[in-house]
């Protein structure tokens, strides 16, 4: 369960990063 949460967090960070990139563009 902990690992799953960790992966979820990483995915969320990546999604936020992509979103920021789109906004920057």
Domain residue ranges of the chain, discontinuous segments joined by +: 1-25
How far does the chain reach from its first CA to its final CA, in angstroms? 36
Distance between CA 11 and CA 18 in Å, rounded? 11
Q: What is the pLDDT of residues 1-25, one digit of tens each?
A: 677 888 889 999 999 999 988 877 7
Chain-centroid distance, C-alpha 11: 4
The pLDDT value recorded for residue 24 is 74
The pLDDT value recorded for residue 15 is 92
Distance between CA 6 and CA 21 in Å, rounded? 23
Can you give the pTM of this predicted structure?
Answer: 0.52
């Amino acid at each position: 369960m902990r690992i799953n949460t960790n992966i979820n967090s990483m995915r969320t960070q990546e999604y936020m990063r992509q979103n920021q990139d789109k906004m920057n563009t």
